[in-house]
Structure formats: structure tokens, C-alpha cells
């Protein structure tokens, strides 16, 4: 009788596994570095009543900052019976778009213009893909202005970019920072880096050029090497500004940008809405409306910098 009971239960369990929707999650980052953001994505799913392992399955693929692996990872993902595929990061979104089909609705998180990138037809009626436009790349000029306020004596500043992130995105960021530098009568030195060794070389070159502060492009590869970049900044005594609070939280000087955790939560909400039957075309591409300024006051003291009162008042968070 017990054997018959187990046998009877097995088909029901099998049917439940087959009908559980599956989310394909393709990320430019590494699992460890992105843990808090992935948790935020799960919170967004939970807002739509989806809990991983209970009524939704998630297939993760991580590029670990190596964008060349994304096409094969995306192709591997779409061989699964996915209900929706998530492209977290510009290169991941592009790879998922190429590998997918109309049968795989795409939810993305990108910093570039998704219309110009060919991900959607329009922001309000996006077509078979939708998501969150992080918007952070346009803030490069504002970050340089904030860095100059923190280091008013700096005449030469550096910009670190990753050429593999996407030619158009990198050039847009470079132009925004260069325009701000010109307006403030500052010299800008640009260095590219796409590997750990190139990051080391870039810092050596920038230091030799006499920069007094550094703007780091918003880029998942750099985020996955956050500890390395902060260690080099500390070694060379370089004040730096970044795009997410995780940098000053880990010892960087300051950051300015949208909350990455909240953006991942929104990504989860949109994925959940599609699981519940919504069409991507009915979900306009979202853009963050609140940007946060985070300052590590201890790092400022270590660098011998006085935080201006105007920045203290504007700060959303002070890390001590």
C-alpha cells in the first residue's frame, strides 16, 4: 500500500515540476559579487507572489566579467523551456536578445538607450522585450563635477573605461565626462582596461600622468573587480567616484547613481508580471527617478580631504 501511495504521488510531483515556470537569468557579473542584487531580484519576484523553489525555478548563468562567454551562455539558457529570460547588464541583454526568440520574452537591465541598442521599438511600447534603463552612463559628467567639488585643487583627472562594454556606450560616457572637464577647465586623461593586468597598467599610467582624482565608468567588469580597483586607488592615494554605493561602502571615496538593488528589484517585478501573463509590450521601459549620493567620510579623512558642506547636505548616506 505504501508503495502504491508513493507511485501515485510521483506523477503529481512530476507534473508540478513540469508546470513550474522557469526564469533564465543571464548576468555579466559573478554570483558572489552580485549576491545582494540577486536577492533584490528575488524580492521583486516575491512581490508578484513568486518564490524561487516553491512556484518558480531560476536558471542562472554568470559571465564573471568575461563578456566573450555571454553568447554561449545565452544559447545554453534558451535550450531550456523558459517562461522569461533576464539579461542583467548591457552585454548580457544584447546576447539574450540575439539568442532568444518571441517565445522567450526578455526583461533587461541596461545603462544604454535600449531603443538605440535595438532591444526595444520604443520606451512606451517596447515590443517583445522590456526592462529597466539604468540611465547611469549619462551621469558621468555629474560625477566629475562632484569629484572636483571634493578635490577642488585637482587640475588633471582620470577616466577609466572598459572598451568591451560597448563602443557606443563607452563613447557616450567619455564625451559626457570630457565635456564636464572642459567646462570646469580641467584636463582629462582617459585609460582603457578590459583585464586585470590592464587595470594595473591603467592605474600606473594615470598616476604617472599626475591625475588627482579618478572617475570609473559604470561597468559590470569593473564592479566584479571592485576590491582590486579600490586597493589600487588606496595604494596610489587617488580619490575616486563610482556609480553605485557598494564602492564607498567598501572604502571608495564617493558614488553617485541610482540604487542598483532597487533596480534589480524592479527587474524582478517585471519578470513576475510577465510570468503572470503580462506582455512585454504592455510594460513600458522603466527609468529610475531617484539618484543617491554616498560618501565615505573616513576615506575622505584618510586622503586629507574636507567634505564641503554643500555635499554633506546633499548626501543620502555617509559611510563612517
User: Which pLDDT value is given to residue 258?
Assistant: 87
- Whole-number Å distance between alpha carbons of 135 and 110: 8
Q: What's the fold here for domain 137-258+292-319?
A: Rossmann fold (3.40.50)
Which residues lie below 8 Å from residue 141, measured CB to CB, with a gap of 6+?
176, 177, 179, 180
CA neighbours within 13 Å on the CB side: how many for 283? 25
User: Which pLDDT value is given to residue 12?
Assistant: 41
- Whole-number Å distance between alpha carbons of 214 and 161: 11
Cα torsion angle, 119, 125, 130, 135, sign: positive
What pLDDT, in 10s, does the model give residues 47-95?
A: 999 999 999 999 999 999 899 999 999 999 999 999 999 999 989 999 9
Profile the chain (320 residues) by mean pLDDT over runs of 10 residues: 44 52 95 92 98 97 93 95 94 93 88 89 95 80 96 97 83 92 97 96 97 94 93 96 94 93 94 97 91 96 95 94
User: Which pLDDT value is given to residue 17?
Assistant: 46
Beta strands at 291-296 and 254-258: parallel, antiparallel or unpaired: antiparallel
User: Which pLDDT value is given to residue 71?
Assistant: 96
Helical H runs in the chain?
2-19, 35-47, 70-77, 90-99, 140-150, 167-183, 196-208, 220-224, 226-236, 246-249, 260-275, 297-302, 309-314
DSSP element (H, E) containing 129: strand 129-133
Given CATH 3.40.30.10, say whether it is the number of domain 2-134+259-289.
no
User: Which pLDDT value is given to residue 18?
Assistant: 53
- Whole-number Å distance between alpha carbons of 54 and 195: 39
Where in the sequence of the chain do the CATH 3.40.50.2300 domains occur? 2-134+259-289, 137-258+292-319
Amino acid at each position: 500500500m505504501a508503495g502504491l501511495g508513493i507511485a501515485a504521488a510521483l506523477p503529481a510531483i512530476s507534473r508540478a515540476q513540469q508546470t513550474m515556470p522557469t526564469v533564465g537569468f543571464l548576468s555579466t557579473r559573478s554570483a558572489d559579487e552580485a549576491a545582494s542584487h540577486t536577492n533584490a531580484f528575488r524580492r521583486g519576484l516575491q512581490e508578484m507572489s513568486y518564490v524561487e523553489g516553491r512556484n518558480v525555478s531560476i536558471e542562472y548563468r554568470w559571465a564573471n566579467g568575461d563578456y566573450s562567454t555571454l553568447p554561449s551562455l545565452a544559447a545554453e539558457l534558451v535550450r531550456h523551456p523558459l517562461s522569461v529570460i533576464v539579461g542583467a547588464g548591457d552585454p548580457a541583454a544584447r546576447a539574450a536578445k540575439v539568442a532568444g526568440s518571441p517565445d522567450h520574452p526578455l526583461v533587461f537591465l541596461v545603462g544604454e538607450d535600449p531603443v538605440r541598442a535595438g532591444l526595444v521599438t520604443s520606451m512606451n511600447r517596447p515590443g517583445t522585450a522590456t526592462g529597466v534603463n539604468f540611465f547611469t552612463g549619462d551621469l558621468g559628467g555629474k560625477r566629475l563635477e562632484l569629484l572636483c567639488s571634493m578635490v577642488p585643487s585637482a587640475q588633471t583627472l582620470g577616466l577609466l573605461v572598459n572598451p568591451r562594454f560597448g563602443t557606443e556606450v563607452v563613447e557616450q560616457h567619455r564625451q559626457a565626462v570630457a565635456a564636464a572637464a572642459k567646462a570646469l577647465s580641467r584636463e582629462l586623461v582617459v585609460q582603457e582596461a578590459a583585464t586585470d593586468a590592464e587595470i594595473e597598467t591603467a592605474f600606473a599610467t594615470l598616476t604617472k600622468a599626475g591625475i588627482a582624482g579618478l572617475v570609473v565608468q559604470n561597468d559590470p567588469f569593473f564592479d566584479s573587480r571592485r576590491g582590486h580597483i579600490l586597493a589600487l586607488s588606496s595604494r596610489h592615494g587617488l580619490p575616486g567616484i563610482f556609480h553605485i554605493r557598494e564602492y564607498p561602502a567598501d572604502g571608495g571615496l564617493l558614488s553617485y547613481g541610482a540604487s542598483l538593488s532597487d533596480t534589480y528589484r524592479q527587474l524582478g517585478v517585471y519578470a513576475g508580471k510577465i510570468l503572470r501573463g503580462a506582455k512585454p509590450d504592455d510594460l513600458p521601459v522603466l527609468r529610475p527617478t531617484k539618484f543617491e549620493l554616498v560618501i565615505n567620510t573616513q576615506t575622505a579623512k584618510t586622503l586629507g580631504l574636507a567634505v564641503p558642506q554643500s555635499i554633506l547636505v546633499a548626501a543620502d548616506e555617509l559611510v563612517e
